[in-house]
Structure 1
């Protein structure tokens, strides 16, 4: 969709962004950035959108990557705000935003932020996110001043290492329709697609893997993360729920989630396994699943022997030990290698991360074929039996695949709409979506805490993970310190304070608060946009309260470990500041207790607190209780069409409560075993 703006509209956008992130006096950052050159300090403090050529380009790029409906809505809002007569009911001023003083624009932004009407708060959040991304990425000097070095991180480390690629099948040039015969067609090459394709290929079956994303190559790594986002994430990493209350990150590349995850490896808690068994998956508590988890763990080289923790990961462990909170290191699927590069989240393909190499690449070595940039249009089926799929390859070639079995490994967002556009009718398809909502709490430390060589997520605190007796509640982990992730959940008190906080990027320890959601949403199929999932999800009050509880516990960890300043993700909770040495701190300290007591009284509400999701589950649940309860049986077969199998996180009966990589791969290993059994039985019957 075109994102052209008139000059007047550009001035409106720039006026808003300059109020969100205004220039501040150089003296205000001198003490904050003592290790930065005077030239860079000046850029960090005083650069504005109006003297920044890259800002407009970044805005255009971001909007072109967003969904058409969101871009259209944004353009409409800017058009209204750029017309004096139309803007008055919103701004309550006869001045255009571009004519207002910085104080007047700040007052307008605060009116959006504090509005009782959710859509206005949504507008506040959208403008803040766009301003942050477009502004900070618009100038190399600005990024350098903040200490952000994505482009240069680890370049020397990997210069001599071999880079593996999955061989991709090329469409025949002389055919308008490409026809392929295979035993099993696997739709999706991610965590589960790789596992089941590997298992089937090892058993000697013909396997074809179709992936709608493309493959990241060496030349794609080391570029700006904004550029890479557009290549490997759903909707260029601009996906969100229909009410805009939660941003959603999902992989869309060869390797899928296995290529972009942060290597954190955790087994499915047995309490959750018991719930799954009660919901109609009896093997969830069996040795069959134990063996699958053991196999996956070993296959990926998962280990606890990966060197030192980052500052934030060590803080979680040390702070938890002081306070008596249960915490532990997490496994990493990197073998003997250190999981410490920004490339982890961008198609990390050097053979050090087992999520892709040990499954997908090995499947290809065993005979599986892969076609990338291939969008499956529908599963062909008649009278309860599937015969294959129809797809379109990126160059426009129509692909027809005839297969004995169809396996959907598209993930919890794509599998439901694939089934719906293929004509399957079960009303439970798309229901029950779980997202593991997240937010962050921040500590500002005197020392530099964000280093490009850091491990990412190697520890977890579970002090609050069972708030209701049913194991719904938050965990505390470290977030990947990519700039947009680190700054995403910061509170916006006002523009001046926001810029000063952002200037401390290198010193911000960000604790990720991830909760096992009790609430649920839906994935909706939209006939007018059949290839894009419509996600109806709003974090429930219970889950928002859980995030608040987790953030407060995270604040305790930050305080006891000596953070000079603590920022909660809600702007109504003021910054806490103390220069007391960590060795002298106690949670009972009067100043901290007063701040904590006030923070406890502030409700977390959508848009007032930023929330996100990188885990999508349970939108096409499996159960042996029948099609009235779930669309898929306990062996992964679609009730409506038993030779269509669903093998991804969508079949989870509920949220895993932990980073789901080990869980979904183990589920795929079990369901893959069932599929092999059925194919062998078919072969035996054919011989009779």
Structure 2
């Protein structure tokens, strides 16, 4: 989300609210003040708690921040927002939702609360979508945005300690190429994307003496730049500043957009693709030996050695320990997972904001550094528009380079007979579609590992934002139906993410529940999805993500929520809460008084309150399948060597080549397949 490390500085000549009318902005202010009014603090509270309760949306300039954030979206999204605000300006909508024929901003506070809850629970998907848009933005910004002194009025009350500023003397070992004018460059191979796939291929080609150029859409951030502040990290390190989602907002999508890609912001989890999944991929693709042969296993070994995968740095923080203990108490599988990190020592908990200590063995520290030392040129803030194709062969890339200091954009053409698209399963198909390739499977078969959370509140402080972020997991339910099921893992939850996801039933109750953030532990249900979505282009050539969690996958999510709740209770939680808009909650007192009846009621409550679009917040940090590999060009996009069917010299090397979902955190799967493909690509350049 586009917020800075201090309160927003409003430019009087071009205010961020200028795309909204005065009436529209007034409604936006009223929405923010309804979610976050100034409240009377509880009796006998300390000064930090009093400050927390008295803080309001206006104190943090939430309405201008949201207007600025949404103002950077494309024209169609801004038009949708204005249509939504027009509904809230209508007295008729007020009559339908709050029982009073008045615009939203003219209603008294309690009726505005009622109005927002009616939107949240509405049978109309557009109203639920509008509620989620504003609830998520206000929740994130209220708890994540620092003031002009670098602090947030809620942090002290939540017992949240922000990181110190980074050291300006920290090393910046790479020097990206500067593009100061419209330019044409030549090379042997151009790699679009610098993450798990692109970084590996760039190094493999560069170390054989090939002239390589790497294009990265994001900027260059290193230990000298990582502020480790949630709001700043979303702006600097994530696609669309953390706002990326399916078109109906049903799934919030986290994807890296910085030099090093997702390997900069992921949580270090390093699973090899399971053998049963590889066998399934072989059957689906019709490609013998690509997934089950010895070559891929050798590539896994090579990658694991370079990024130093180990379990020595998988010591559990309190949150991971609770998952481990709760699962074992129920007789479920529980184990430690492997991570590509060294020397973590439980000292931060901010892997998703970049690793200031250099512990995370991202492609920035490994493969990209190696490629750079072997002569590869790297260009950041570079958006690849399309691949140039001549007579059935790749001929280069057409791109633009943005200068954030001068706010100028330069045209860049790369001439190369080998093009490797590694922009991720969201952007890679978009690039191929803009390149006028007509294969109907480009952008289809999108898998997201739809994920949701159930929260446990414990009697002692857990600090879910401290220590190793992800080190324990349970695979007890990984095979509910064949190869389909889910994993239980934990997710680090800093105040902004907690504020975004926690259910809101009233301003006062929400503020009180959030005051217990340090006592909460989160267990995620990571689903291997059988259902599919797609990535397409709108009339402006911008990508659109169309994905609705299938009925089959929702059954697994429901099963996972029920089991995660039991793990929490077995680990000692006092209550569990789902992320559903309608209240789904179970307390230990209810269990002690009612026993199995309490579990039965809670299980029914989870199902009755719904898992449909915008009734339950769903997340995705894993995107796969949109340029899938296969033998048959009529059923797939890329061949056994990750080369696009029908186009010589054009390769795709990222999660989009998966024939189906991996079922595990996909970083190592991507790197292994990219390493294997690179051995062939080297012979063709």
Asked whether the two chains share a fold, i.e. TM above 0.5, the reply is yes
Cα-to-partner distance string for 1:633-657 (whole Å, 9 max, x where unaligned): 1111111202101111110101111
In structure 2, relative to structure 1, the CA distance for the partners of 1:62 and 1:393 (3 Å cut) is closer
Q: Any gaps of 5 or more consecutive residues in structure 2?
A: 1-14, 403-407
Q: Which residue of 1 aligns with 2:203?
A: 198
Determine if contact 1:406/1:644 at 8 Å carries over to the other structure: yes
Output the CA distance in 2 between the equivalents of 1:586 and 1:474: 29
Q: Which one of the candidate residues 228, 240, 249 is aligned to 1:244? A: 249
Q: Find the residue that maps to 1:412 and give its secondary structure.
A: helix
Which moved further from structure 2: 660-669 or 349-358?
A: 349-358
Query: 1:249 touches 1:613 (CA, 8 Å); kept in 2?
Result: yes
Q: Deviations over 1:190-214 (max 9, x none)?
A: 1111101111111221111111211
1:45 maps onto 2:50 in alignment: no
1:503, 1:349 → 2: CA distance? Answer: 28
Distance (Å, rounded) in 1 between the aligned partners of 2:331 and 2:169 = 43
C-alpha contact (below 8 Å) 1:161/1:350 kept by paired residues: no
Q: Which residue of 1 aligns with 2:394?
A: 386
Which residue matches 2:633? 627
CA distance in 2, matches of 1:475, 1:461: 6
Q: Quick check: 1:150–1:222 contact (8 Å CA) kept in 2?
A: no
Q: Does the 8 A contact of 1:23 with 1:496 survive in 2?
A: no
Instruction: Determine whether 1:562 maps to 2:555.
Output: no
CA shift, 1:588, in A, is 9.9
Residues 77-98 of structure 1 deviation map (CA, whole Å, 9 limit, x = unaligned): 2244235467555554223323
Are residue 491 (structure 1) and residue 503 (structure 2) matched? yes
State the partner residue of 2:6.
Answer: none
Shift of 1:10: 4.0
* Aligned pair partner of 1:180 in 185, 201, 204: 185
Distance in 2 of aligned mates of 1:451 and 1:112:
31
**Match for residue 529 of structure 1 among 508, 518, 540:** 540
Which of 230-239 and 489-498 deviates more? 489-498
Shift of 1:351: 2.9
Q: Distance in 1 between matches of 2:505 and 2:95?
A: 25
Structure 1 gaps of 5+ residues are: 31-36, 680-688
The alpha-carbon distance between structure 1 residues 6 and 617, as it changes in their structure 2 partners (threshold 3 A), is same
How far apart are the structure 1 equivalents of 2:577 and 2:213? 49
Q: Deviations over 1:57-76 (max 9, x none)?
A: 32233323444433332233
Q: CA deviation at 1:22?
A: 4.7
Deviations, residues 551-587 of structure 1 (Å, cap 9, x unaligned):
111101110111112112224454222269xxxx999
Measure the CA separation in 1 of the matches of 2:205 and 2:677: 11
Q: Would the alpha carbon gap of residues 307 and 671 (structure 1) be closer, same or farther in structure 2, given more than 3 Å must change? A: closer
In the other structure, the counterpart of 2:675 is 669
1:646 maps to what in 2?
A: 652
In the other structure, the counterpart of 1:141 is: 153
Query: What is the match of residue 274 of structure 1?
Result: 279
In structure 2, C-alpha distance between the alignment counterparts of 1:317 and 1:182, rounded to whole Å: 50
The 10-residue stretch of structure 1 (328-337 or 141-150) with the greater mean CA deviation from structure 2: 141-150
For 2:211 and 2:345, the matched residues in 1 are separated by: 36
Structure 2 SS opposite 1:123 = helix
Residue among 11, 14, 17 paired with 1:3: 17
| 3-state SS, counterpart of residue 426 of structure 1 | coil
Q: Give the match for residue 329 of structure 1.
A: 336
The 3 A distance-change label for structure 1 pair 117 and 23 is: same
Which of 16, 20, 26 in structure 1 is aligned with 2:41?
A: 26
Quick check: 1:542 aligned with 2:521? no
Residue of structure 1 aligned with 2:175, choices 154, 158, 167: 167
Give matches, 1:147-162, under 5 Å: 147-152=159-164, 159=167, 162=170
**1:46-85 correspondence runs (5 A):** 46-50=54-58, 52-84=59-91
Partner Cα distance (2:72, 2:215) in 1: 23
Change (3 A) 1:346 1:13: same
Residue 467 of structure 1: how far off its partner (Å):
2.0
Tell me the SS of whatever aligns to 1:432: coil
Counterparts of 2:129 and 2:466, CA distance in 1: 36
Partners of 2:413 and 2:39 in 1: how far apart?
A: 60
Aligned pairs for 1:335-354 (under 5 A) are 335-338=342-345, 341-348=348-355, 350-354=357-361
Q: Once the 2 structures are TM-superposed, how far is the Cα of residue 424 of structure 1 from its aligned partner?
A: 1.0
Distance 2:548 2:120 in 1: 18
**Residue deviations 1:434-493 (CA, integer Å, cap 9, x gap):** 011111100111211116541101111122222211x22221111122222233332333
Q: Using a 3 Å threshold, how does the CA distance of structure 1 residues 381 and 159 change in structure 2: closer, same or farther?
A: closer
TM-score (norm 1): 0.90
The alignment partner of 2:187 has SS state of strand
1:426 aligns with 2:436: no
TM value normalised by structure 2: 0.90
Aligned residues: 656
CA RMSD of aligned residues (A): 2.5
Q: Which segment is superposed worse, 226-235 or 585-594?
A: 585-594
How far apart, in 2, do the equivalents of 1:309 and 1:22 lie? 38
1:123-164 CA distances to partner (integer Å, 9 max, x unpaired)? 221221122123334552223222233343xx6xx7598434
- Provide the C-alpha distance between the structure 2 equivalents of 1:426 and 1:599, rounded to a whole number of angstroms: 45
> Cα distance, 1:232 vs. partner?
1.9
Matched, 1:472 2:484: yes
1:515 aligns with 2:527: yes
- Any idea what the Cα deviations from partners look like across 1:638-685, whole Å, max 9, x if unmatched? 112021011111101011111111110001011111112334xxxxxx
- Whether 2:212 is the aligned partner of 1:207: answer yes
Summarize the alignment of residues 279-318 of structure 1 with structure 2, pairs less than 5 Å apart: 279-280=284-285, 281-282=287-288, 283-306=290-313, 308-318=315-325
Q: Is the 8 A contact 1:489 1:609 kept in 2?
A: no
Task: Report if the CA contact (8 A) 1:143-1:149 is conserved.
Answer: yes
